[in-house]
């Protein structure tokens, strides 16, 4: 399986520990897909012009993720502030006017020539890529992380171009999850999944709804666990396993991520 991740990169700044980690949904999914055995993983995003951006890119290349089609702009890297509360990450606002806030990708013919060599595209609601979804979906299947963006207007705008739709829903009742799955399928998404925190995950392929429990581990940090779940699912399901097998593998990969600090390690002093 070969994956192209298009979208966000950030520095997750752990203010109490005085370190930052490379992160961002698209970056985290890319790295974890490579760790899962994907033969070729490419990340296309917008990097800033500071030392943090250079570090993120260096770490991606060390993990075997290609970044040659990414852009570099005159702006600082996004730097969300993070505090850990009982092992769970709590985000605080970081600086504004970063490359993540000021710029969005425009897919050009040179990008298309690269992207179409892959099997699947991954992006997210954090990537400012909505206007490019029609182009991307014309090339490959698109996986999209909605996080907690569940409003009907946004889903209606994006889901017609999405094959794999992922949501975060630890605050949702089972009834609300079923409604979200139904709505997202109705707009065109083929697979709809909702991660539920300690309750596991609920996934639908349009024919059946499956529940996946969590793996019991000693949690160090939940940062990136949902992204690792997505990467595990995509690696397994696009590798021709069935839905149940893909969910089991995704749960195992998310549990491993919970046992390390940061989304995939590589700490750096602030």
The predicted-structure confidence for 24-64, as pLDDT tens digits, reads as follows 999 999 999 999 999 999 999 999 999 999 999 999 999 99
Angle at 197 between CA 254 and CA 88, to 5 degrees: 80
Contacts of 61 (CB under 8 A, 6+ apart): 67
- What local confidence, expressed as pLDDT, does residue 96 receive? 87
Beta partners for residue 23, in sequence order: 10
Counting residues of the chain whose pLDDT is more than 90, the rounded percentage is: 91
SS in 3 state form for 206-243?
Answer: CCCEEEECCCCCCCCCCCCHHHHHHHHHHHHHCCCCCH
Q: Which residue has the tokens 């949904």?
A: 25
pLDDT surpasses 80 at 86: no
Q: What is the pLDDT of residues 182-224, one digit of tens each?
A: 999 999 999 999 999 889 999 999 999 999 999 999 988 889 9
Confidence of residue 87 (pLDDT cuts 50, 70, 90): low
Helices (H) and strands (E) in the chain, counts: 9, 14
Q: Which residue has the tokens 């925190």?
A: 197
Residue 169 has pLDDT above 70, yes or no: yes
pLDDT interval class at 168 (50, 70, 90): very high
**Tokens found for residue 62:** 């060390």
Alpha carbon 220 to its chain's center: 20
Model pLDDT, residue 119: 97
The angle subtended at Cα 240 by Cα 164 and Cα 133, nearest 5°, is 25
pLDDT band at 95 (very low <50, low <70, confident <90, very high): confident
pLDDT at 239: 83
- Which domain does 176 fall in, by range? 2-108+117-269
Write out the two tokens for 177.
């999850």
Which residues 6+ apart lie within 8 Å of 79 measured at CB? 10, 11, 13, 20, 52, 94, 95, 98
Q: How far apart are CA 125 and CA 145, in angstroms?
A: 6
Task: Report residue 112 CA to chain centroid gap.
Answer: 21
User: What pLDDT score was predicted for residue 98?
Assistant: 96
pTM across the whole model: 0.96
pLDDT reported for residue 139: 97
Give dist(CA 5, CA 173) in Å, integer. 31
Domain count for the chain: 1
Residue 90: pLDDT band (50, 70, 90) is confident
Structure tokens at 142: 């698109």
For residues 34 and 104, give the distance between their C-alpha atoms in angstroms, rounded to a whole number. 25
In what order do the strands lie in the sheet containing 88-92? 88-92, 81-85, 10-14, 19-23, 268-269
- CA-to-CA distance for 28 and 7, rounded, in angstroms? 11
Condensed to tens digits (0 to 9), the pLDDT of residues 135-147 reads 999 999 999 999 9
- Provide the H-helix boundaries in 20-98: 25-35, 51-62
Residue 173 CA neighbour count, 13 Å, CB half = 3
CATH of the domain at 151: 3.40.1190.20
At residue 241, the pLDDT reads 86
Residues 104-143 pLDDT 10s: 999 999 999 999 999 999 999 999 999 999 999 999 999 9
Q: In the predicted model, what is the mean pLDDT of residues 243-252?
A: 96
């Amino acid at each position: 399986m070969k994956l192209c991740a298009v979208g966000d990169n950030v520095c997750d700044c752990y203010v109490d520990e005085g370190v930052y980690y490379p992160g961002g949904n698209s970056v985290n999914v890319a790295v974890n897909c490579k760790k899962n055995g994907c033969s070729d993983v490419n990340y296309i995003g917008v990097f800033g012009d500071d030392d943090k951006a250079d570090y993120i890119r260096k770490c991606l290349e060390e993990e075997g993720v290609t970044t040659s089609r990414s852009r570099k702009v005159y702006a600082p890297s996004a730097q969300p502030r993070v505090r850990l509360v009982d092992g769970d990450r709590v985000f605080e606002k970081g600086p504004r006017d970063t490359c993540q806030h000021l710029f969005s990708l425009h897919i050009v013919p040179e990008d298309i020539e690269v992207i179409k060599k892959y099997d699947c595209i991954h992006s997210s609601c954090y990537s400012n890529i909505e206007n490019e979804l029609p182009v991307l979906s014309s090339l490959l299947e698109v996986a999209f992380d909605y996080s907690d963006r569940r409003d009907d207007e946004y889903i209606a705008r994006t889901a017609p171009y999405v094959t794999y739709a992922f949501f975060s829903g630890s605050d949702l009742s089972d009834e609300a999850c079923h409604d979200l799955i139904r709505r997202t399928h109705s707009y065109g998404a083929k697979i709809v999944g909702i991660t539920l925190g300690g309750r596991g995950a609920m996934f639908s392929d349009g024919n059946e709804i499956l529940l996946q429990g969590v793996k019991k581990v000693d949690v160090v940090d939940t940062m990136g666990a949902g992204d690792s779940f997505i990467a595990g699912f995509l690696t397994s399901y696009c590798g021709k396993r069935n839905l149940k097998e893909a969910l089991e593998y995704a749960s195992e990969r998310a549990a491993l991520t919970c046992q390390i600090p940061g989304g995939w390690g590589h700490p750096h002093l602030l």
